[in-house]
Amino acid sequence: MSEKTLSIIKPDAVLKNKIGAIISRFEDNNLKVIAAQMLMLSREQAGAFYSVHKERPFYQGLLDFMTSGPVLVMTLEGNNAITKNRELMGATDPAKADTGTIRADFADNVEANAVHGSDSPETAATEIAFFFPNLGG
Ligand code: CMP
């Protein structure tokens, strides 16, 4: 089933010049970039995007990190895009991510973990609407 999901290439991976390498992983696995914008997140934007984590101890550090440099926000489309993107990313903590995944190859630690991806259809719809309000379902 064709789906859309939100992907963010985070400041650590942008700084390391890994935008192309990461997008190649998506394209090589039949995920198509159908929308993209490069931007510096404001603290307010980052806080709203990650509001589900606002009670977590890592929340303020996460906002510091996500606003530390530019990010590339994308909508990806393809069969089972949500699950496929999560498989390609690997576990949140790169130390636990499977060999060959984006986080195993490009991430430094559980905070600076190279990429974000929506974790469910509901989250994907909310996250896509957050950055691409004109894209629709
Ligand atoms: P992401 O998939 O974008 O979703 C929430 C983010 O919070 C996560 O990736 C990490 O960047 C960060 N995060 C999750 N757990 C921790 C943790 N234990 N310590 C620091 N940052 C974390």
Mean pLDDT of 44-58: 98
Choose the residue to mutate in 58, 86, 108 for probing ligand 1, maximizing ligand atoms within 8 Å of C-beta.
58
Whether residue 71 has pLDDT greater than 80 = yes
pLDDT of residue 137: 52
Average of per-residue pLDDT values in the chain = 97
Active site (annotated) includes residue 116: yes
Backbone φ, ψ for residue 57 (5° rounding)? -65, -25
Mean pLDDT of 31-42: 98
pLDDT of residue 4: 98
How would you class 81 by CB atoms within 10 Å of its CB: exposed for 0-12, middle for 13-18, buried for 19 or more? buried
7 C-beta closer than 6 A to ligand 1: no
25 marked as binding residue: no
Whether residue 136 has pLDDT greater than 80 = no
111 C-beta closer than 6 A to ligand 1: yes
Q: What percent of the chain has pLDDT over 70?
A: 99
For ligand 1, atom 21, which residue shows the shortest CA distance? 111
pLDDT in tens, 106-124: 999 999 999 999 999 999 9
For ligand 1, atom 2, which residue shows the shortest CA distance? 116
Catalytic residue from among 73, 102, 116, 131? 116
The residues near 119 (Cβ < 8 Å, ≥ 6 apart) are: 82, 86
